[in-house]
Structure 1
Amino acid sequence: MSAIYYPKIALANHQTTSCNNEKCKNTKCNNEKCSTQKCDEHIVITGELMHQPSKVTSDPKKPRLPLPAYDGAGFLKTITGFSISRKGGAGGDPSLRGMGGSRISIVDDGQHVYGTCGGRMDPPTAYIYPEAYEAITVIKGPQTVKYGPVGSAGTVLFEKDRNNFVGKNVEGRMSTTQGSFGREDYLVELKAGNETHYVDFDMNKSQSEHYTDGKGNKVQSSYDRNNYNIALGWTPDENSVVELAYGGSSGNAEYADRANKARKIDNENVTLLAKHNVDSQWVSNVEFQVYSNENDHIMDQFDQGNNSGVNVRRKTTGGHLWLDITTYDNWETTVGVDYMESTHAGRSIDQNVDNGLDDLLNKPYADNMSYKNLGLFIESNYRLNSPSINGKILTGLRLDQWNTALFVAQKGQRDDNLMSGFIRYEYLSNHSEYYLGGGHAKRIPDFWEFMKADINDASQKAFNLVPEKTTQLDLGWIYKNDVEISSALYYGKVDDYILIDATPAKTSAYNIDATIWGGEIGVMYPLNQHWSTQTTLSYSHGDNDTTGKPLGQISPLEGRISINYDAHQWTAGLFWRMVAAQNNVSIGEGNISGQDLSKSSGFGTLSLNGSWSHDDVLISFGVENLFDIAYAEHVSRSGAGNDIPGSEPMFQVNEPGRNAWVKLSYTF
């Protein structure tokens, strides 16, 4: 018998693995899994529309165009509103609605995994292989307080299922991808169990050589990465699950924006999860999770003959306890407490006494900074029962207590108590759903912001930064019928916005006031039984209210148009991406992911894709940047570190030129 997926306990109306596609409800979808919760519809995805207010949920196991990089950032760039700061072929830094860095909260199946490199070689998404997860959910804006410190730009959940098997069963999946520039991906997933026990194992490998841009110049961008995860589960009854999981990853990469190479980007993590559906008048679900993870990163120039190297590590431990309370039929509440402790340490070459990698690895670590965070929250969903009103009110409130210690430069310790919250009204009328929400998020400066120079004293760290405060209004309209439409608008004031300024002699961080606004709209229109089209448009704008200049690192207007064909075993499509010029810039200013380098030109790229399926086999393929255009994203990093012999100097890190790929998947 097939496996039954044990869903995560989450907010009401939060669907992680259910299939909302109407094709799973008619005769077009012949896959037997459509009768359960998960739909493996054979179609190449070119983008995701928002089907719930402020929320986009994606199935990362479906083939996509553009083909994502091996990490989480490569996947997020396919979702409307996201941009990626490119350094090379790996380690891109995501930005949502022009807000980058720690303004996006990344939650890896309940864990907070923070980057380690002072130059952001390894943002949190660098340790995530998207296809190994069952669902990726983006909550845009400060519209949840549940998942740890609030993401002022948004929250991204990389989620896995817990399994409860009926009878003995074994199932799995294998896939391989081959593409231009030596791109190779391999994935193996295996799940086995019975009514009381299960094992869930996945292993993947991804690698690529340096790619070539549209001018034929090689871009220093190679990477090689391996990931593995194993989970052992106990399901004593249909209402309970206890799972112990261990995972690890190892890799290396080269980048075009710096001389340092990432010799080592490793991670180990362990989690213990217990969930129970309670048969009680007051409490319906209990979830408890503890985790520990450690990143180990070496960056150096030893292979180039330079005696320069740094080894940094970061250990993070934490956990949460959530209770779902149902006091009335129309009122659901989640209360919870979470704790996180993270310490960053490092060691580096002393060029007067050390020489090479062995000397680096024999040096002791010294702590640089540590964080401790205790959070308390309550989040509620109240459904209105009036016959004339079909809607709900969602609200949440969160208190974070922070203790931060600095062990370098001026040294010191600080305590911060931060309050965040939101309220949102959702109204359903026939095929339309409208929503209006207000959110307020207070954010402690992160490691990279604190470690920048103080604006008034370059010898000191920016440890006196004031917490950032974002107050934002979100509203939108979702329409579901033969035609699907999703739209969202937002307007926010950011008091004490933390600006990274690279124009002084030493990069500094200081507080300003800012205004952000913008929106997204997406339309999916079926032309006939086999043909459909999808269009999305996104725009973000930011102003530095303190100086009257634009806010740095804001992506320009972007539009995406796809035409898709779907007929039984075959699918095909064209994907046209258009990006406008960005003239609203502040040279040298931005965030921890990067700073504005110049104004940028607009561009457009055309891609094509297709797939063929038979029983449990799916072959998908694509050609991206069909006309071999040479271009760089506005948020791209400087190309000053691109030192491949024979390649012309680059002002910015250019995107790949024409590249083709084919992917084979087998499910059993």
Structure 2
Amino acid sequence: MKFNTSILAALIAATLTPNLAIADHTTKTCDGEQCDDYIVVTGELMKEPSKVTTDPKKPRLPLPAYDGAGFLKTIPGFSISRKGGAGGDPSLRGMGGSRVSIVDDGQHVYGTCGGRMDPPTAYIYPEAYDAITVIKGPQTVKYGPVGSAGTVLFEKERHSFVEKDMEGRLSMTGGSFGREDYLVEMKAGTETHYIDFDMNKSKSDHYEDGDGNTIQSSYDRSNVNVALGWTPDEDTVVELAYGSSSGEAEYADRANKARQIDNENLTLLAKRDVNSTWLNNVEFQFYSNENDHIMDQFDQGVNAGTNVRRETTGGHLWLDLALSDKWEILIGIDYMDSAHEGRSIDKELDNGLDDLLAKPFNKNMSYENIGVFVEANYDISYATSQGKILTGLRLDQWDTELHVGQKGQREDDLVSGFIRYEHMSGHSQYYAGIGRAERIPDYWEFMKADDSNMAIKAFDLEPERTTQLDVGWIYQNDYEISTAFYYGKVDDYILIDSNGAKTSAYNVDATIWGGELGVMYPFNEQWSAQTTVSYSHGDNDTADTPLGQISPLEGRLSVNYESNNWTAGLFWRLVAAQDRVAVGQGNISGQDLGESSGFGTLSVNGSWKHDDLLVSFGVENLFDLTYAEHISRSGAGNDIPGSEPLFQVNEPGRTAWVKVDYTF
């Protein structure tokens, strides 16, 4: 089954046209609780300029993997580089790796594996969070080093009890290929103290593609988080939190297995609403986290193994100033110190896991970052409409040291910023913004070979500088429309090239553009439909070739039915063929393998709600199609007896699941 761009565009246009034509004949909206129980299948629409906020506790299609990347693929604009059942690498608008800034409840948690077995999202169980916010483009400077493609916030709420109380939630999921998820959440407190506890476990066996080939993809992971809070008054909260996670996984793109993917983290948060004549509130946070990862082939009789770990410590201080009724200003400073180290088997001297664990760790790279920023918005509303200007400026100082290869030190002073105009008139919001993000090369880019001298590391890479225009229109009334368009120039884009004897990294100039469109239309009290379309385009201007690892045009259509306590829905996903490729080139998440075919998959879902009990269920890839995403990793490491050789890591075949949620 193959779709090209023109066919997909025609199908989406045909879907949207009748919806808009009958818009005047309905009054249903999704305000309040009306649509709260729908399974989220096409992703949330933008309610605010450049920002998407979603509730990760809602059931959704496709059923997310246990980690953050599995969740993000449900949001339009995101693609995931699949390497197995978990550990996928998120890409936003065709920009992968560190171009997407992941913030875990205020922490920066970086991966350790040189082959990206554990990207930052691998340590995140999304359903344990209260909200996930995606800020698209370089349109904020608040959350540490700026993500040029965007910033993802996994957020938890702080609690304040007016009297002694307790609430909680239990969730269980069972699905094809041995999928099991368990979640327990509990919050309890008094007027002055609270405890917030959650524990979850997720596991799956190897899945099968549509042809019945077994894909090496099993995983098993557990997480525990506990937070103790002190609320001496209604304006103050002090919270100490501890989190721990441990897991293992197998992948179809490599021989190494992840024997251990562990994380421990500690945070201290203090917030106070001051509400004085010049200061609204103050927030301080300190955090420390360590990842410990073992990858090996010992179980396969091969004496090969590596243990890497990474410790990151940091924090921030934010002051929200109240200078006038028109001005809101936030100023802040943040700090981060991170060190990566590892140890590996010496095949001539060592043998097995015990020898690996007895070896000393050696530093690979360390860096220190101090950032200061100011963000402000100015209200320019007048009698008939509302408007505001938002702007921000950030200065980052980086001190980086390479402890392997040629060794060395470098200092980088980077400047990032944005300015955006937002205008609201009636039911419409319009916005236009220009942002600039300067990004230092990350650990994985530095550790690649220097293109001019393959014997040394790429430690002389220039920082990547992205200047991007973001514009859009949001309409919210009886139906909803969300549009976003971006156009960016990237100076010194860091390209990863695996065509040589070694994988190298070097700078090129690039152009990126694309956008997203979403429409939600309620036909009546029972029936509604939602459509989203996303497209990304990238050019390597230096070589006059396409940019690698750019996802093709994608459309999603869902039709939903709701009556009393029942809901049901159909979800059709269409992805066009991608013939704009740069074989062997891409980013730290992966490189293009070749052209890819288009595909379309159909899924069904439903739910039943009674008081505090919600049962949801679904069948994905209903017709058991065999297909792979364009940015999928190579399937060369799939070592399952009886399975056919894989060019790419194929997606799961027909998958059924049931999820039960109970709140108390």
TM-score w.r.t. the length of structure 2 is 0.95
1:119-130 alignment runs, 5 A limit: 119-130=115-126
Residue number in structure 2 paired with 1:45: 40
Which residue identity does 1:215 align to in structure 2? D
Residue aligned with 2:323, SS: strand
Q: Is the counterpart of residue 322 in structure 1 residue 329 in structure 2?
A: no
Cα deviation for residue 24 of structure 1 reads 4.9
Report what 2:186 is aligned to.
190
* Paired residue secondary structure (2:581): coil
Provide the residue aligned with 2:234 in structure 1.
238
Q: Which of these residues, 200, 210, 218, is aligned with residue 204 of structure 1?
A: 200
* Residue 414 of structure 2: aligned partner: 418
Q: CA deviation at 1:25?
A: 3.4
Partner of 1:103: 99
Structure 1, unpaired ranges of 5+: 1-20, 30-40
Deviation track 1:519-574 (CA, whole Å, cap 9, x = no partner) reads 10000011111000000000000000000000000000000000001112001000
Aligned with 1:445: secondary structure? Answer: coil
For 2:262, what is the secondary structure of its paired residue?
strand
1-side partners of 2:386 and 2:274: how far apart? 28
Other-structure match for 2:80:
84
Matches within 5 A, 1:136-285: 136-285=132-281
Matching of residue 559 in structure 1 with residue 552 in structure 2: no
Q: 2:437 aligned with 1:430, yes or no?
A: no
CA distance in 1, matches of 2:261, 2:216: 17
Structure-1 separation of matches of 2:547 and 2:31: 44
Distance 1:93 1:279 in 2: 42
- Amino acid in the other structure paired with 1:117: C
2:21 is equivalent to residue 25 of structure 1: no
Q: Which amino acid aligns with 1:45?
A: V
**Which letter does structure 2 place at the counterpart of 1:165?**
F
Name the structure 2 match of 1:663: 659
Q: Distance in 1 between matches of 2:37 and 2:255?
A: 43
How far 1:166 moved relative to its partner? 1.1
Q: Deviations over 1:128-179 (max 9, x none)?
A: 0000000000000000000000000000000000000010001000000000
Letter in 1 for 2:128: A
362, 369, 373: which is aligned to 1:366? Answer: 362
* CA deviation profile, 1:423-457 (whole Å, cap 9, x unmatched): 00000000000000000000000000000000011
- Partner in structure 1 of residue 336 of structure 2: 340
Q: Is the 8 A contact 2:287 2:314 kept in 1?
A: yes
In structure 1, the partner of 2:19 is none
- In structure 2, stretches of 5+ residues that fail to align are 1-27
Select 1:574's aligned residue among 566, 570, 573.
570
Q: Secondary structure at the match of 1:359?
A: helix
The amino acid across from 2:414 in the alignment is L
Q: Which amino acid aligns with 1:221?
A: S
1:287 maps to which residue? Answer: 283
Q: Are the aligned partners of 1:270 and 1:292 in contact in 2 as well (CA < 8 Å)?
A: yes
Say if 2:339 and 2:366, in contact at 8 Å, map to a contact too: yes
Aligned to 1:307: 303
Q: 1:63 aligns with which of 59, 66, 69?
A: 59
- Aligned residues of 2:29 and 2:478 also touching (Cα < 8 A): no
The Cα of 1:331 is off from its aligned counterpart by 1.1
User: Quick check: 1:521 aligned with 2:521?
Assistant: no
C-alpha displacement at 1:296, in angstroms?
Answer: 0.1
- Tell me by how many angstroms 1:279 deviates: 2.7
Stretch deviating more after TM superposition (453-462 or 249-258) = 453-462
**Whole-angstrom CA distance in 1 between matches of 2:559 and 2:468:** 34
2:463 counterpart residue number: 467
Whole-angstrom distance in 2 between the partners of 1:665 and 1:474: 39
Q: Corresponding residue for 1:14? A: none
Distance 2:124 2:564 in 1: 33
Per-residue CA distance 1:592-647 (angstroms, 9 max, x = gap): 00000000000000000000000000000000000000000000000000011111
Given residue 400 of structure 1, which amino acid in structure 2 is its aligned partner?
D
The equivalent of 2:597 in structure 1 is 601
Q: Percent identity?
A: 75
Offset at 1:23? 4.2
Q: Give distance in 2, aligned partners of 1:115 and 1:362.
A: 23
Structure 2 Cα separation of the partners of residues 388 and 330 of structure 1: 17
Distance 1:269 1:620 in 2: 33
Which secondary structure does the structure 1 equivalent of 2:322 belong to?
Answer: strand
What code does the residue aligned with 2:530 have? Q
Q: What do the CA deviations read for 1:68-100 (whole angstroms, capped 9, x no partner)? A: 000000000000000000000010000000000
**Equivalent position of 2:14 in the other structure:** none
How many residues align? The count is: 636
Distance 2:391 2:275 in 1: 25
Which of 348, 352, 355 is 2:348 aligned to?
Answer: 352
Q: Return the alpha-carbon distance in structure 1 between the equivalents of residues 157 and 535 of structure 2.
A: 34
Given the alignment, which residue of 628, 631, 648 partners 1:652?
648
1:552–1:589 CA contact under 8 A, matched in 2: yes
1:445-485 deviation per Cα after TM superposition (whole angstroms, max 9, x unaligned): 00000000000111100000000000000000000001100
**Native 8 Å contact 2:385 2:426 kept in 1:** no
Please give the per-residue CA displacement for 1:36-73, whole angstroms capped at 9, x wherever unaligned. Answer: xxxxx222111110110000000000000111000000
The answer on whether the counterparts of 1:330 and 1:385 sit within 8 Å (CA) in structure 2 is no
Mapped partners of 1:560, 1:303: distance in 2: 42
Q: Does structure 1 residue 479 correspond to structure 2 residue 475?
A: yes
Report the secondary structure of 1:648's partner residue: coil
Does 1:393 pair with 2:384? Answer: no
- The aligned residue for residue 542 of structure 2 is 546
Secondary structure at the residue paired with 1:316? Answer: strand
Q: Is the 8 A contact 2:379 2:387 kept in 1?
A: yes
| Distance in 2 between residues matched to 1:423 and 1:297, nearest whole Å | 40
Aligned residue type for 2:307: N
Q: Do structure 1's residue 618 and structure 2's residue 614 form an aligned pair?
A: yes
TM-score where L is the length of structure 1: 0.95
Aligned 8 A contact 2:29 2:479 in 1: no
> What amino acid is the match of 1:451?
M
Q: CA deviation at 1:387?
A: 2.3
Distance 2:431 2:452 in 1: 44
Cα offset, 1:381, TM superposition: 1.1
* Deviation of the 1:308 alpha carbon: 0.2
Answer whether contact 2:176 2:656 (CA < 8 A) is retained: yes
In 2, Cα distance between the equivalents of 1:23 and 1:658?
31
- What is the aligned counterpart of 1:54 among 35, 50, 55? 50
- Give the secondary-structure state (helix, strand or coil) at the position aligned to 1:266: strand
In the TM superposition, what is the alpha-carbon distance from 1:22 to its structure 2 partner? 5.2
